[in-house]
Amino acid sequence: MMKPITILAASVALASAAIAQSSAGGFTGNAAPARGGFTGPATVVTVEHAKTLKDDTEVTLRGTIERHTGGEKYVFRDASGTVDMEIDSDRWVGQTVSPQDQVEIFGEVEKKWNAVEIDVKRLRKL
């Protein structure tokens, strides 16, 4: 049988690890995640330009999420047009976004057979 002090020490260690993990990073403005990386200004491209880029090219887009098309699929719009996006549920980080809200999307171009999609890595409501 475990002694109460041992159980308490184990509980504190687990709680500390969970807190440290939950604050390990994430998107905060234009700064890179806490683990480090490039912190220069992002070059914003249009949807039209993003569609011409190579597969896996990192892009930053600004516009609106026009509609949800099912699952993790959405349609994004800027002044130049629309593009399909995949936004995993953990990318919302507690933000609620409507079609009237301007957002900044950081993601990668995903070339499909005859379509282009943006795989969203970070999303920020402006």
Asked if residue 73 lies in contact with residue 112, where contact means CB atoms within 8 angstroms, the answer is no
pTM score above 0.85: no
10-30 as b/e: b if 16+ CB within 10 A: eeeeeeeeeeeeeeeeebeee
Asked if residue 46 lies in contact with residue 78, where contact means CB atoms within 8 angstroms, the answer is yes
Domains of the chain, first to last: 47-125 (2.40.50.200)
Return the SS3 of 17: helix
Distance between CA 8 and CA 55 in Å, rounded?
Answer: 51
Q: What is the pLDDT along the chain (126 residues), one digit of tens a residue?
A: 555 555 544 444 444 444 443 333 333 334 444 566 665 556 899 999 999 999 999 999 999 999 999 999 999 999 999 999 999 999 999 999 999 999 999 999 999 888 999 999 999 999
